[in-house]
Amino acid sequence: MTDTDTAGPDATFRKGLENGEILLPRCDDCGAFHFFPRILCPHCHGSALTWHRASGRGRVHTTTVVRQKPERGGNYNICMVELEEGVRMMSRVEGIAPEDVAIDMPVTAFVGEADGNRIVLCKPGRD
């Protein structure tokens, strides 16, 4: 992938989502991925960053259930997912009951939609 878009790293990340891809910045100096997108590597402060498609493979790092009345959409899960690339991001696991999401559960991240916006969602994965 190319270097950060002239509009900034957040715009590059969002453009990837619009194209159905989860893009992560990786530092060319130290080789570390990072998230959230920014103009300098948080590990070594290098500025040579390139964007790479995420594998999508990850595990639930933390999880909680947001409880709502059924007429407001019902309960849903919010979790912190650690992707294979070593970055953590907020998401939610779709396709199972919110209460069934567990720490260290394997997941697969994908680009989905919520409230008309493209976002990173997860589904249960396999070891």
Looking at per-residue pLDDT, the higher value among 82 and 126 belongs to 82
35: nearest Cα among 62, 63, 2, 10: 10
Under CATH, which number does the domain 57-124 receive?
2.40.50
Q: Which residues pair with 118 in a beta bridge?
A: 113
CA angle, 20 then 81 then 25, to 5° = 55
Helices (H), the chain: 9-18
Tens-digit pLDDT profile for residues 85-120: 999 999 999 999 999 999 999 999 999 998 899 999
**Domain locations in the chain as residue ranges:** 9-53, 57-124
Overall average pLDDT of the 28-35 stretch: 96
What is the model's pLDDT at position 6? 61
Give Dmax (Cα) for the chain. Answer: 51
86: nearest Cα among 41, 21, 20, 39: 41
Tens-digit pLDDT profile for residues 36-94: 999 999 999 999 999 999 999 999 999 999 999 999 989 999 999 999 999 999 999 99
- Please state the pTM of the whole predicted model: 0.85
